[in-house]
Structures are given as C-alpha cells and as structure tokens.
Amino acid sequence: MAPTAPSSSSAPSKRTKPPRRLTMRRKPPSLNKSKAQTVSDFIKNKVKIFEVAAKSTGAGKKNASRGVYPQLEEALLVWLSAMIAKKILVSGDILKQKAEVFALQMNMKDFKFKKMCGESGAVDDSIVAEYRDGKLQSAVGMLAESWKAVTQETLRNCFRHAGYTLDAKTAVSPQVDSVCDELPSADVAFDDLRAAGLSIPAGITFEGFAGADKDLKLCAELTDDEIIRQVTEDSDDSDTENEEPAPTQPTSSELTRALMTLSSVYRGNMTLTEIEADMIVGKRNAVQKKIRDFFAPKC
C-alpha cells in the first residue's frame, strides 16, 4: 500500500513573530525616509493626535472605571471599612439598606440598588457549614499532624541548608523533645512589677491588668453626615485639581513679532512647512549632554 501524503491539517502552524520595537539606532533612518509634508502634518495635528491616543489607551481616564454614583460608592466603602475594622458582619441586605440611606441623604432620587453579582445563585448555608466543618477541619488536622511528624534531624538539616550551622565545640548532642520551661505565674509577674516600682492595687487580676485598654476607642466613629461630607469635599478638591488652565490665544502683535523673528532667521522664499522641517532636523542633530559634562572641571 502506497504511503499517503500528509494532510494539510497536520502541517505545523507558522507562529507569527511579535513586532519589533523601533530602537534609537533605527529611528533616524526611518525619519529620514519620511517626507517633510508628513512630518509637518503631524506637527499641525499634534493636539488631535494626542487626544485620540489618550482616549484609545485610557491614559487620561483617571475615573473611567467609576460607577454612576461615585460619591455614594465611596461613602459606602468608608462605612463598610469601618464595619470590617470593628469585626461586624455585613450582609447584602444590610449593604443595600445602607446604600439607600446614603442615597436619601445625598438627594439621589433616581438611585436604584443593583442586585449583587452571584446573589441569585448563592450557595446554601448548610453546604457552607458542611464544607467548613469537613474540608477545612480535615485540612487543619492534616497540617497539624504533618508538623508533629517533623523530627529534630529534619529541622537541623533545614537550618544547615539555610546557612545556620554550629561549630564542633559549641554543637550540642541531640536531646529528646522535652516540655518547655513553664512561664512564671501571674502572681509572680505581679510581684516582679511591684518590686520594680510599679504601683498595682492588690484587687487587680492579671486578666484585668492585661485587658485594661481593650475597650478603649482609639478614634471617633464617623457618622453618616461626616462620611457624606468627607466624600463630597474630596470630590470637589479632585475636580479642582484636574482643571487645567486653558491656553491663551496670542495677540496680533505677538504673531507679528513672531513672523518678523522667523523672517530675520530664514530667507524670504521659505514656507512654514520648510521652516518646520528645518527645525525638526536641527533638533534631530542635537547631542544630548551627559551628567558628567555638568561636573567637568572648568579650564
């Protein structure tokens, strides 16, 4: 039986090479091939080109991913962060209710809370409880048993691989695992503190002494009005910072002086396109100084 020719589908696919970046060595030859009119058009339409590039790449979209109600979302984030810091559980219904309260206080009449992603297909609580009791508990148990199975020799080898070794003189023969020395009791610790000069009343226990500042509030809690005021003030400040001064239009006298300056440098029959091309060539031939040139000894 004659061998059959391999099908076209079995032929190896050609991988396309990624485009090469234009290096500084290859830029001047490429620019020399460009026409003066093309470079002039780029210069004239510089503002439009930059605007299109900024819109396409997202360079000027600082708040592009913000929602319809950015101030409300920021206020809700501040409130949620405070609840998480106090270890208070917040459900989706509570978050929705708080968002509606903020919207009412901020005069957002057309606000509508969107259903959270994945809420319709939420997992049953019994499944979550079973997963935590079974999977997580078994994983923690296996991890604990693994650490218990680690021997002294294994730990010694780990330290030796890390560079922590002992000399033959200071090396100690391996000892059998023993229970650590017990820490002094609370009464002994209190006696040591009193002996050091610290006045501790006799009726105070160690638990009361250690947890004296447990319920102390380190900072004041923000109210809803303070959160809304903070969000609106930050938004006003950011809007003011993003405002750029509009470019001033040159006057007729300034344009006349500029034309006279160009006429004194270039000959009279040169057009603006030729003048722009000459300026580009001059910038291209300019040599950038090195930092050591500024610190060279003066002759």
What number of other Cβ atoms are within 10 A of residue 280's Cβ?
A: 17
Dihedral pair phi/psi, residue 147, rounded to 5°: -70, -35
Task: Evaluate whether residue 174 is within a structural domain.
Answer: no
DSSP string, 61-75: -TTTT--S-HHHHHH
Task: Evaluate whether residue 154 is within a structural domain.
Answer: yes
| pTM for this entry | 0.31
Task: Evaluate whether residue 42 is within a structural domain.
Answer: no
Task: Evaluate whether residue 109 is within a structural domain.
Answer: no
Task: Evaluate whether residue 262 is within a structural domain.
Answer: no
Radius of gyration of the chain (CA): 37
The confidence score (pLDDT) of residue 8 equals 47
The confidence score (pLDDT) of residue 66 equals 57
The confidence score (pLDDT) of residue 32 equals 67
> What distance in Å separates the CA atoms of residue 252 and residue 259, rounded to the nearest whole number?
11
Task: Evaluate whether residue 159 is within a structural domain.
Answer: yes
Number of domains in the chain: 1
What domain range is 155 assigned to?
125-163
The confidence score (pLDDT) of residue 134 equals 60
Task: Evaluate whether residue 135 is within a structural domain.
Answer: yes
Query: Mean pLDDT, consecutive 10-residue segments, the chain of 299 residues?
Result: 48 55 66 69 78 63 62 87 84 85 84 60 56 67 83 87 71 51 67 78 76 74 83 66 69 80 71 75 72 71
